[in-house]
Every structure is written in structure tokens, then in C-alpha cells.
């Protein structure tokens, strides 16, 4: 759960991105109840921030012109939590409020306490991103993220409790290599000491992180992002389809995340993609929504479902044209 100071700074950041917001919009953006938004607006006003009420059918809030912006008093943990939250917001929304979050982060970094600044530096230095923009899935407790980042940076050996995809709990001993943020989740790439090999762990399944000592001699260099992409792409799906997408492989990788597909260039303007999903219907719908030319090589069931979807769309358009008196 976000601290009060952390949440207030996020609210200010969002309010500054456009002239007016309704209470419902703010609640949805901050993932809180509207009652929480109303309480936080009152707190901001008590601190001297000019948050004005907007009249109208839906009501709302805006930052008043020339508002005085007194500083928030944050302890080390609150400062770090706020900085990480702003970094997440900047990643997830590169336009709009993301730009405001980045500006606020730069200001905050200049005034962070030394310990918090060092922790944020450790957090930044070991994180990479794979796939598209993050979505609100697989959120990880901030203490877990900072502990994992610190272990990656310091080359510490750690133990933690881990729940696997079957729901089994166990203890794992690892030497972390890096944190990777995909479109859906945080992952830790690490050398598993018990299995004597590289492994990938979902960070939202990690708890009780403890440092047990320094890591051993450096192992062969590993690309944490590539390791995570390979691991999540190899996760078994019920159905796979082989598809020829008429776009360069770099565009396709940005369009179709590594969590569900693997891609191989087929010349400069085409990509051979193996796409996985829960069933053939899901894959067909996904392909139709992509909005790029493609050809289903197999299986036949997926190809037939795609044809059916497209025929239905053509029928709807034809009926709309027939009903148009103009």
C-alpha cells in the first residue's frame, strides 16, 4: 500500500497534466477509492496546495493558478517509495502525466537523503525492460524490489521464499544478475545455487529476501533481458500458430511481446512468428486486432477462424453500406 506522502505526490503529478479531472478519473488513475481522493485533496489544501473544486454535472478538481507549492517532508523510506513510484509512472505513461512524473522525479532526486539516493541508484542500475509498455499486473512489494536490486548491485548471495506456478512454496538460494520489467510483470534473473544453472523468477512470487553473503567468483556474462524473454516465451501454451507477419522483425517485436511469441526475420520486410495462446479462437482474435498484414501458415483451425472473423466484418460493413441512404 502506498504511503500517504507518496500518494499525495502522485496526486499532484496527475493533477498537473491537464486542466481538470473528475474524482472518478483520479481514483481510477491512482487505483484508490474516490473517498481516498477526497481525503487527499483536503490534506493537500491543508498543506497549502491550491486544489480547487470544479462545478458541473460530474464535478472534479484542478490546480489553481499561482498555487504555492510547499515541500513535503519525507523520511528515507517514503522518499525512495515516491521516487520509485514516479519512475514507474514515467515508464508506463511516456506522454502526459509520465512527463510530469519525470520532472518531479528529477527535482526529488536532487533533494533525496543520501541513503535513499544510493538505494534509488542501485534500483536504476540493475533494471532493464523487455517487451511493450508495462500494464498493471504482477505488482511487487517495494521492499522486495529494492532488496533484489541492492543484491544485484552489490553482487550478494541471497535466499528467499518462492511460490512456483503450481502454488508450491520453497526456499531458493541464488546469485542475482538483474531485474527485468516486461509488459506484465517483474522478473529476477539469477544463478540458482541448488540447480547450478541460470533461472528466472517472478518477483511478485518472492518474499522474505535475506542476504547470506557475497556472491562467488564471476560466472559467464549473461543478458538478463534475453534470459527472461527466453524463459517466458518457452512457457507452454495450449495452442500455437505459425504466422507470417508482413512487417520487419523490430516492428513485430514491439507489437507482439515475447511473453506470447517468438520471432525470426524472414527477409527485410517480413517476420516468421510462432504465437501461443489458450485456444485457437484467442489467437485468431489477437491476429485480427493487430492491424498489420499477415498469413496464417498453420494450424488450419486458426486460419479458418481468422477467415470467419474477417468475413463477419465484411458482412457488417456491407450491411451498413446498404442501410446508408446517402
d(CA 212, CA 99): 39
Q: Is the dihedral of CA 125, 130, 135, 136 positive or negative?
A: negative
pLDDT tens digit string along 184-202? 678 899 999 999 999 999 9
Instruction: Please give the grid coordinates belonging to residue 309.
Output: 472473423
Q: What pLDDT is attached to residue 103?
A: 66
End-to-end CA distance of the chain: give it in Å, rounded. Answer: 56
Please give the helix or strand (H or E) that residue 233 lies within, else none. Answer: helix 224-233
Q: What pLDDT is attached to residue 137?
A: 47
Q: What pLDDT is attached to residue 151?
A: 86
List, in order of start, the domains of the chain with CATH numbers. 4-122 (1.10.10.10), 142-225 (2.30.30), 236-321 (3.30.70.250)
The angle that helices 300-323 and 280-290 make with each other, rounded to 10 degrees, is 50
Q: What pLDDT is attached to residue 271?
A: 95
pLDDT tens digit string along 261-274? 889 999 999 999 99
Q: What pLDDT is attached to residue 168?
A: 86
Residue stretches of the chain with pLDDT short of 50: 1, 68-69, 132-137
Amino acid at each position: 500500500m502506498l504511503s500517504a506522502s507518496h500518494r499525495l505526490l502522485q496526486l499532484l503529478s496527475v493533477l498537473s497534466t491537464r486542466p481538470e479531472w473528475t474524482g472518478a478519473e483520479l481514483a481510477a488513475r491512482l487505483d484508490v477509492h474516490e473517498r481516498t481522493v477526497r481525503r487527499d485533496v483536503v490534506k493537500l489544501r491543508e498543506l497549502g496546495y491550491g486544489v480547487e473544486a470544479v462545478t458541473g454535472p460530474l464535478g472534479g478538481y484542478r490546480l489553481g493558478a499561482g498555487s504555492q507549492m510547499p515541500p513535503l517532508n519525507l523520511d528515507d523510506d517514503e522518499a525512495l517509495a515516491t521516487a520509485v513510484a514516479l519512475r514507474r509512472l514515467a515508464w508506463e505513461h511516456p506522454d502526459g502525466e509520465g512527463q510530469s512524473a519525470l520532472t518531479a522525479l528529477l527535482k526529488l532526486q536532487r533533494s533525496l537523503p543520501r541513503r535513499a539516493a544510493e538505494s534509488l541508484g542501485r534500483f536504476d542500475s540493475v533494471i532493464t525492460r523487455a517487451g511493450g509498455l508495462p500494464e498493471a499486473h504482477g505488482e511487487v512489494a517495494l521492499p522486495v524490489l529494492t532488496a533484489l536490486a541492492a543484491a544485484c548491485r552489490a553482487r550478494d548471495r541471497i535466499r528467499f521464499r518462492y511460490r512456483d506456478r503450481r502454488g508450491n512454496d520453497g526456499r531458493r538460494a541464488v546469485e542475482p544478475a538483474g531485474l527485468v520489467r516486461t509488459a506484465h510483470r517483474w522478473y529476477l534473473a539469477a544463478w540458482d545455487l541448488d540447480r547450478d544453472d541460470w533461472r528466472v523468477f517472478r518477483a511478485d512470487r518472492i518474499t522474505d529476501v535475506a542476504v547470506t553473503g557475497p556472491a562467488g567468483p564471476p560466472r559467464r556474462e549473461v543478458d538478463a533481458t534475453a534470459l527472461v524473454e527466453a524463459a517466458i516465451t518457452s512457457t507452454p501454451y495450449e495452442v500455437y500458430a505459425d504466422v507470417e507477419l508482413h512487417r520487419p522483425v523490430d516492428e513485430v517485436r514491439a507489437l507482439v511481446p515475447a511473453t506470447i511469441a517468438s520471432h525470426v526475420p524472414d527477409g527485410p520486410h517480413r517476420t516468421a512468428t510462432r504465437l501461443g495462446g489458450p485456444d485457437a479462437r484467442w489467437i485468431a482474435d489477437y491476429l485480427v486486432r493487430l492491424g498489420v498484414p499477415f498469413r496464417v501458415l498453420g494450424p488450419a483451425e486458426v486460419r479458418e477462424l481468422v477467415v470467419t472473423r474477417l468475413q463477419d466484418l465484411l458482412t457488417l460493413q456491407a450491411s451498413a453500406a446498404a442501410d446508408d441512404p446517402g
